[in-house]
Structure 1
Amino acid sequence: MGTTTPAPAHAVVFDDRFAVLVGNTVRRESGPEPLFVLGIASDSGGVVSPDGRRLAYWANGDLRIIDVAPGAQPRTLLAIAGNEGALYFAWSTDGTGLVVGVNGGGGGFADAPPGYTALRVVDVAGGTPREIARIRNANVVPLAWDRQARLIAAYEPTAGGTYRYDVVSESGTVKQTTPGSSLYFLEASHDAQLVFGRIDLPTSAVRVWPVGSYELAADLAVPAGENVLAVAWRPGTAEIGVLFTDRLELWNASGARRTFALPPAPPSSDRYTSLVFRADGKAALVGRQLNTSTETFDTYTVAIDLATGRNTVVQWPGPASEPGRSVRLGP
């Protein structure tokens, strides 16, 4: 395992072509100074497109998108009918469309799945949404949509992990696989080639598999006695960021690992720690929530350049441990 020794904390690792979206405010990577505010509610949430230039989000049952730019106006792509509901969606790998899991036909006991989940796709350019498949008695969460391979990856979560992992072709064929062990926090790589999930029993590991072949899954073991704080795909690569208290490791499905040491942090709770990669995959932001007094909190963020290992610390005011979502401003 290779270890990258960080340069002094004042080393500059920020890139002005990128920023962070916190709520509806776009800020510089280097600090809390706002650049502009998007014309959406501050609690809109949403998912940033693979290129970092657009945000998709829900607003009163409408799925909308907005360019990450000053003065941009949102557009509605899809409206959910009153007898249906939806929460989860995923961008296509090329950023030209979205796949949405729409639930309907509910009933039964309190924890019963909906009567169906309809996987519907819609183009960012507009047009009528198209239903790909309707999966009965299941709550299906889309993970990724590979438009070139014409495949959608999804899963069916339960309180105990994952009931089934699903691969759906654009022609409507559904392949469902039962994992056979507890599997949590599934996430697809940005190119929709790989998926990971976390397992805790019999040992703690990150399980990785090709999108179309769960049977080829491999378990990447977590070192004994270590506590994983966050896991995320690094954009543009087949590497997985695995965050520990004192370091960030990049794991490859082949087994290769790289380590980036983190500077000692002020006292904080590991429970409020997050990992975000820049949209181009060249830097990582590790956020921690600090209790600076009995009533106030600050966010302590370490930015790491993944080519050199240089890092620098930014202390942003506010209670959110999430450093924000990376967005692209320049070419």
Structure 2
Amino acid sequence: MSGIGYFGIVVLALLGLVVGSVHGDLRMNYYARSCPNAEKIVQDYVKRHIPNAPGLAATFIRMHFHDCFVRGCDGSVLLNFTASTGNQTEKVVVPNQTLRGFDFIDRVKSLLEAECPGVVSCADVISLVARDSIVTTGGPFWRVPTGRRDGSISNASEALSNIPAPFFNLSALQTSFANKGLDLRELVLLSGAHTIGISICTSFANRLYNFTGVLGTQDPSLDSEYAANLIANKCRTITDNTTIVEMDPGSFRTFDLSYYRLVLKRRGLFQSDAALITSSTTRSYIDQILNGSLENFFAEFARAMEKMGRIEVKTGSQGEIRRNCAVVNS
């Protein structure tokens, strides 16, 4: 045999198996044989219930994001504290305290368990529900290859150190995303999800009342007129943790480009939003998005979401398929 020879072919084949085991086990229609109705069950439930609670679309895409940034997309954000583990789970940390919809995920999982016991992972449920919820409310569609398996570890301290914070500057955001294999353009694209959803005042109140650590100081990167409006009509105290504020005022239920227009006007709600115009590179990405069509943005956002959904996934013999999304199998 000429060329690389038999031994070389065997080595290459083995390397191919290794690479395949790491990246190849996520695929479209993964459950086609093991649970052929799985994706339809999820989609039907979402289409039936999300129109009655459209605000959940934003929380599900955020849940998916927070899950993937901690130990990969493995459903660890769903786990409850149990005395047997002795550690607080991701659910308890401040970034996740405002997540909702865990009961919704549980109901979807129950339907799948009734159809195909022990087959569909909770990690895939989050991924599918997030996509289908956004589509149901008029947002972009993206491919969701499936085959993720569920993790058994959920650690509060890991969540705090891995989930990008609303007060991050661009350098911190870039590092956080790069650690997960995402680049600056994907950072700008994924930030576009802030076009829907809400926040509470304490997530950004320091920008209004205590930016430098001295009461009465404001973030100069926040439009002063917008800041005055927030103080007068929304966040009347620095400790207000109940008042709801739209992240994209006037358009917070429509997946569109208005978030980027607000960012350019210095009216992004978080410091992490304002950070996107502190670099000529990220600012140029915003300009490109706004100069293009909504369809182009949807297509780019879709590619970024599919890539995010592959972060550090567990496949094959890794992890487990949880019967109950809130509890590790016994």
TM-score, normalised via structure 1 length: 0.25
Question: Which structure dedicates a bigger proportion of its chain to helix?
Answer: 2
Compare relative contact order (CA 8 Å, sep 6+) and give the higher one, 1 or 2. Answer: 2
TM-score, normalised via structure 2 length: 0.25
Q: Select the structure of larger CA radius of gyration.
A: 2
Question: Which structure dedicates a bigger proportion of its chain to strand?
Answer: 1
